[in-house]
Structure 1
Amino acid sequence: MLTGKHALVTGGGTGIGLAIAQALAAQGAEVTITGRRPGPLEAAASAHIHPLVMDVMQEASVVQGIEAAVNARGPIQICVPNAGIAEGRALLKTDMDFWRRMMATNVDGAFLTIRESLKSMTQTDWGRVIAVSSIAGIRGLKGAPTYTASKHALLGLIRALAADYATKPYTFNALCPAYVDTDIVTSNVTSIMKRTGMDEAAARDLMVGVNPHGRLIAPEEVAEAALFLCGDHSGSVNGQAIQIAGGEV
């Protein structure tokens, strides 16, 4: 389905990003995966998955990295701004360093990735931008006001771009999963245990309980939604926040 297409997935070495990269590669795309740590990127590399060390918090890194990817594999026609951090903290315990780090990764990083990818995408006749947001981009997530604000901002960016390019052959959508079975859940379990005194099972159950179907979501379930947005008949799906959230309403 995607033979001849070049995809870029930030945060593509692990978790949701890796699942999306593997799904795109399985459909024939050449996929550039980015991240700050070379180890996970190299471990994820394959014949159609190409690692690139890039820090989405640094404009020069994004500009240079995406330029190198385009020079190596052609225009980016599938852009997946996935890199992000998820951490809860009460507002009165939130300092500017925490706020800025969250926004620099989740909002600025997506903005830079999309902006640089569009430079080559808009020279082609087809393109897809698929941002990985969160259920927190749609509703307020208790105990995580900074994270919630960042994911709402990402969704606003996607909707504005969908309006800007509505008559063009490019679509902009956001995937909004609830709790997914990734390393982020593991780190959040540790954080919850530290903040609340809960044991590991109780902390994990707290997150699982947010998903109405009573289980963590597999990264591959999110990847399948990304594939749908790259399908032959997906052109009229634009500016949407697609929930992969086990029945969250």
Structure 2
Amino acid sequence: VQLYAAESKVQKHYEEKTQHFLHAQSRSNFYDATLFSVIEGITSIAMALMIWYGAHEILDGTVTVGTLIGFINTLNRIFVPIREFTQQLTVFQRAMSSLENIEKLFREETDVALSETQLQNEITKKLEVFENLTFENVRFRYSPNSPYVLKGITFEVNKGDRVAIVGTTGSGKSTILRILTRTYTNYEGSIRINGVELSSIPTGKLQRLIALLQQETYLFEESVGFNISLGR
């Protein structure tokens, strides 16, 4: 953002995206406060009626003060779980919303849709041994309205080659790797491994072809062997 001096543009975009969330959050808080106030009001009215009725009964000698206090405590115990339940309604609704988002992630297609078994076998056979990687006029930008980070990238890497991609900060070096691992998929142009288009390679096979060491490394709290063999 700072590299392209796009602070004001990003801020405007962020504000537009968060307006809907702000409105929904405000409505949720309003309903939550209203429900809580209603329950508290009902509780207070019930207590007042109990004290008023009990006071008359005490004056008439029908009940004792201890009996009235016992009824008030019982009534208060009845309303406690109701009050607690209403306070948890908002938490429950947020949990359900989070669950829906998680389910959407699980339902997403994580692999390339290949309908023909023969085609899958042919691709797998071509990718048994790495031969070459080809970038042909690859262009990429993070969103339709943002400037291109990569413009017309073309190069070829053959088996046994050692290639270093150098450039200034923000020039797109890490972006090339993220495109190659299909972290970013909305690129233009052609990327082929052993002549097979990147978008046609099954995710599992692609992950076995590439060993990626990123700038920021995250390790699980397990053994070194577990972290090295993860996904293999």
TM range (shorter): under 0.3
Considering fraction of residues, name the structure with more helix. 2
Larger of the two Rg values belongs to structure: 2
